[in-house]
Amino acid sequence: MASERRLRIKTLVMVLAMVVCANAGDLLLKRGMSEIGAVQLTGAGLAHAFWLTVTNGTIWAGIFFLTGFMVSYMTVLSWADYSYVMPAGAFGYALLTLMAVLFLHESVSPRRWVGVLLIGVGVLLVGQTKPRTTEVTSEAVA
Protein backbone atom coordinates (compact mmCIF):
# COMPACT_ATOMS: atom_id res chain seq x y z
CA MET A 1 0.00 0.00 0.00
CA ALA A 2 1.41 3.39 -1.02
CA SER A 3 0.30 5.24 2.16
CA GLU A 4 1.87 2.55 4.34
CA ARG A 5 5.17 2.94 2.48
CA ARG A 6 4.99 6.70 2.92
CA LEU A 7 4.29 6.30 6.65
CA ARG A 8 7.33 4.02 7.02
CA ILE A 9 9.67 6.40 5.16
CA LYS A 10 8.36 9.39 7.13
CA THR A 11 8.87 7.51 10.41
CA LEU A 12 12.38 6.31 9.57
CA VAL A 13 13.48 9.80 8.46
CA MET A 14 12.18 11.21 11.78
CA VAL A 15 13.94 8.49 13.81
CA LEU A 16 17.16 9.29 11.93
CA ALA A 17 16.71 13.02 12.73
CA MET A 18 16.14 12.05 16.40
CA VAL A 19 19.31 9.96 16.58
CA VAL A 20 21.51 12.50 14.76
CA CYS A 21 20.21 15.40 16.91
CA ALA A 22 20.65 13.47 20.19
CA ASN A 23 24.21 12.39 19.35
CA ALA A 24 25.25 15.80 17.99
CA GLY A 25 23.70 17.53 21.02
CA ASP A 26 25.47 15.29 23.55
CA LEU A 27 28.78 15.63 21.72
CA LEU A 28 28.53 19.45 21.56
CA LEU A 29 27.56 19.70 25.25
CA LYS A 30 30.52 17.53 26.20
CA ARG A 31 32.88 19.63 24.05
CA GLY A 32 31.43 22.87 25.45
CA MET A 33 31.78 21.72 29.05
CA SER A 34 35.37 20.61 28.49
CA GLU A 35 36.10 24.09 27.09
CA ILE A 36 34.78 25.48 30.38
CA GLY A 37 36.81 23.06 32.48
CA ALA A 38 36.07 21.39 35.83
CA VAL A 39 33.35 23.22 37.78
CA GLN A 40 34.19 24.25 41.38
CA LEU A 41 31.38 23.21 43.72
CA THR A 42 31.25 26.51 45.65
CA GLY A 43 28.75 29.35 45.33
CA ALA A 44 31.18 31.56 43.42
CA GLY A 45 32.44 28.60 41.38
CA LEU A 46 28.91 27.63 40.30
CA ALA A 47 28.00 31.23 39.44
CA HIS A 48 31.17 31.55 37.37
CA ALA A 49 30.46 28.21 35.60
CA PHE A 50 26.87 29.30 34.92
CA TRP A 51 28.09 32.51 33.30
CA LEU A 52 30.66 30.65 31.17
CA THR A 53 27.97 28.14 30.14
CA VAL A 54 25.37 30.67 28.97
CA THR A 55 27.99 32.64 27.00
CA ASN A 56 29.48 29.57 25.31
CA GLY A 57 28.47 29.11 21.65
CA THR A 58 29.20 25.37 21.63
CA ILE A 59 26.80 24.84 24.56
CA TRP A 60 24.07 26.74 22.70
CA ALA A 61 24.67 24.64 19.59
CA GLY A 62 24.27 21.55 21.81
CA ILE A 63 21.02 22.91 23.28
CA PHE A 64 19.79 23.63 19.73
CA PHE A 65 20.36 20.00 18.69
CA LEU A 66 18.81 18.60 21.89
CA THR A 67 15.73 20.77 21.26
CA GLY A 68 15.69 19.31 17.73
CA PHE A 69 15.76 15.85 19.28
CA MET A 70 12.78 16.62 21.53
CA VAL A 71 10.75 18.10 18.64
CA SER A 72 11.44 15.16 16.31
CA TYR A 73 10.70 12.71 19.15
CA MET A 74 7.34 14.35 19.92
CA THR A 75 6.49 14.62 16.22
CA VAL A 76 7.20 10.99 15.37
CA LEU A 77 5.22 9.78 18.43
CA SER A 78 2.19 11.71 17.17
CA TRP A 79 1.76 9.06 14.47
CA ALA A 80 4.07 6.10 15.15
CA ASP A 81 3.98 3.38 17.83
CA TYR A 82 6.11 3.90 20.96
CA SER A 83 7.17 0.25 20.62
CA TYR A 84 8.46 1.06 17.10
CA VAL A 85 10.27 4.35 17.84
CA MET A 86 11.93 3.27 21.12
CA PRO A 87 13.91 0.25 19.81
CA ALA A 88 14.56 1.92 16.43
CA GLY A 89 16.19 4.83 18.28
CA ALA A 90 18.75 2.41 19.79
CA PHE A 91 20.38 2.56 16.37
CA GLY A 92 22.12 5.63 17.86
CA TYR A 93 24.30 3.42 20.11
CA ALA A 94 25.54 1.51 17.07
CA LEU A 95 26.13 4.75 15.16
CA LEU A 96 28.10 6.22 18.07
CA THR A 97 30.41 3.16 18.15
CA LEU A 98 31.00 3.33 14.38
CA MET A 99 31.75 7.08 14.61
CA ALA A 100 34.16 6.51 17.52
CA VAL A 101 36.08 4.00 15.38
CA LEU A 102 36.01 6.00 12.13
CA PHE A 103 36.71 9.52 13.44
CA LEU A 104 38.28 9.14 16.88
CA HIS A 105 40.16 5.89 16.01
CA GLU A 106 39.08 4.36 19.31
CA SER A 107 39.57 0.63 19.73
CA VAL A 108 36.36 -1.30 20.37
CA SER A 109 36.17 -4.58 22.29
CA PRO A 110 34.74 -7.71 20.57
CA ARG A 111 31.91 -7.66 23.13
CA ARG A 112 30.90 -4.18 22.01
CA TRP A 113 31.00 -5.23 18.33
CA VAL A 114 28.62 -8.11 19.13
CA GLY A 115 26.34 -5.55 20.79
CA VAL A 116 26.43 -3.32 17.69
CA LEU A 117 25.57 -6.33 15.52
CA LEU A 118 22.62 -7.32 17.78
CA ILE A 119 21.30 -3.72 17.74
CA GLY A 120 21.62 -3.61 13.94
CA VAL A 121 19.66 -6.85 13.44
CA GLY A 122 17.11 -5.85 16.10
CA VAL A 123 16.48 -2.44 14.51
CA LEU A 124 16.10 -4.07 11.06
CA LEU A 125 13.54 -6.51 12.52
CA VAL A 126 11.53 -3.76 14.25
CA GLY A 127 11.92 -1.46 11.21
CA GLN A 128 10.06 -3.82 8.91
CA THR A 129 7.00 -4.12 11.21
CA LYS A 130 4.02 -1.76 10.77
CA PRO A 131 4.98 1.67 12.25
CA ARG A 132 1.44 2.24 13.53
CA THR A 133 -0.87 -0.42 14.99
CA THR A 134 -3.34 1.77 16.93
CA GLU A 135 -6.36 3.69 15.65
CA VAL A 136 -6.21 7.44 15.05
CA THR A 137 -7.88 9.01 18.11
CA SER A 138 -11.04 11.09 17.75
CA GLU A 139 -9.35 14.25 19.09
CA ALA A 140 -6.73 13.93 16.37
CA VAL A 141 -9.39 13.71 13.67
CA ALA A 142 -11.41 16.62 15.04
Partner 1 sequence: MTRVILALAVLILGSTGGEIAITYGMKATGEPARLRPRALLQFLGRALRNGWFWAGVPLMALSFYALLVLLSWEPISLVIPASALSYVVGTLGAKYILREQISAARWAGVLLVCAGVALVAAG
- Inter-axis angle of helices 91-102 and 110-127, nearest 10: 140
Residue burial 33-66, b: 16+ Cβ < 10 Å; e: rest: beebeeeeeeeeeeeebeebbeebebbebbbebb
Tell me: does residue 111 bind partner 1 (CB under 8 A): yes
Tell me: does residue 46 bind partner 1 (CB under 8 A): no
Tell me: does residue 51 bind partner 1 (CB under 8 A): no
Q: Specify the stretch interacting with partner 1 by CB under 8 A; choose among 32-40, 43-51, 55-63, 117-125.
A: 117-125
Closest CA to 87 of 110, 112, 121, 113: 121
Q: Specify the stretch interacting with partner 1 by CB under 8 A; choose among 20-28, 40-48, 54-62, 119-127.
A: 119-127
Tell me: does residue 34 bind partner 1 (CB under 8 A): no
Q: Specify the stretch interacting with partner 1 by CB under 8 A; choose among 18-26, 32-40, 44-52, 129-137.
A: 129-137
